[in-house]
Structure 1
């Protein structure tokens, strides 16, 4: 049981680190290799500027970060389709954009992670950065994405259109 809890916490840490790395890459024009090296050497599981960065499952962190970058052409249109009419991913604040991209990658390409668990995890990540409506937006967008790409997990549930 303790191992499972530890792995869950390390995956949560990996998700948080991926969002931070994606944000860092966007504002600094760093590449994936540089971001991976920096986060693994200096951020993950360490205290930086008085902030504790949780331990992370490194293989999961690497897969998420590389996957979001490599699959961005498939991910971004999926998010755009889930956003409210008149909104596009380009108009979304950069940390929020990183959260949506990482969550959408996981929903589209990591079938080993249950959709509801992934959505919940990224809503938690959003709460780490935002105290307003943003976590609700993450929940709504990722729920829409999940129902589109993993409808079988939602069959028979309210809002699924199937009974």
Structure 2
């Protein structure tokens, strides 16, 4: 067997939207850590990090093949433009003993990207939770994916309640 038949799951390279989310988290981290302008970072990714290279460079080499560049750009711009409200939303969800500044910067970028994407309303909450947990597993090997699951589940339920939506998951008794 060759190709996808050998792989139990699709890799991010064959999942353009997942690749875009990974790249968005990386870009948001870079923006926060270096104080770079969002448009400059987006341009860097579009010119130098996306697409296939002649030597077959991969994630380990700093390249992100086959990413949905439109989704990437939207996530980064939406996250940066809503930074203050996203920070507030995450802060209100975390325990008082765990301020947002205490979160790992990659974890913070991931949560902000996921919530910004959810606010855009283009993907259902369960899909986003699964996608961003997959992204988290690429960055973390500890309890961080569980934290992401809990925070996103809480925030998305609050968003649904605020928007007047009632989903099966929201209407189940606790």
Residue pair 1:99, 1:122 contacting (<8 A) in 2 also: yes
Residue pair 2:111, 2:148 contacting (<8 A) in 1 also: yes
TM-score (norm 2): 0.80
The aligned residue for residue 86 of structure 1 is 97
Residue pair 2:15, 2:67 contacting (<8 A) in 1 also: yes
Residue pair 1:23, 1:94 contacting (<8 A) in 2 also: yes
The aligned residue for residue 5 of structure 2 is none
More displaced stretch, 39-48 vs 22-31: 39-48
Residue pair 2:82, 2:116 contacting (<8 A) in 1 also: yes
- Compared with structure 1, are the counterparts of its residues 51 and 71 closer, same or farther at alpha carbon in structure 2 (3 Å cutoff)? closer
The aligned residue for residue 64 of structure 1 is 75
Give, in whole Å, the separation in 2 of the partners of 1:87 and 1:28: 24
The size of the alignment, in residue pairs, is 153
The aligned residue for residue 156 of structure 1 is 171
Residue pair 1:115, 1:150 contacting (<8 A) in 2 also: no
Written as runs of structure 1 = structure 2, the 5 A alignment for 1:12-161 is 12-46=18-52, 47=57, 50-107=61-118, 109-151=119-161, 152-153=166-167, 154-159=169-174
Structure 1 residue runs of 5 or longer lacking an equivalent are none
* Displacement after TM superposition at 1:54 (Å): 3.3
Q: Whose radius of gyration is greater, 1 or 2?
A: 2
Structure 2 residue runs of 5 or longer lacking an equivalent are 1-9
Give, in whole Å, the separation in 1 of the partners of 2:137 and 2:65: 15
Residue pair 2:25, 2:110 contacting (<8 A) in 1 also: yes
SS where residue 130 of structure 2 aligns?
Answer: helix
TM-score (norm 1): 0.85
* Displacement after TM superposition at 1:157 (Å): 2.9
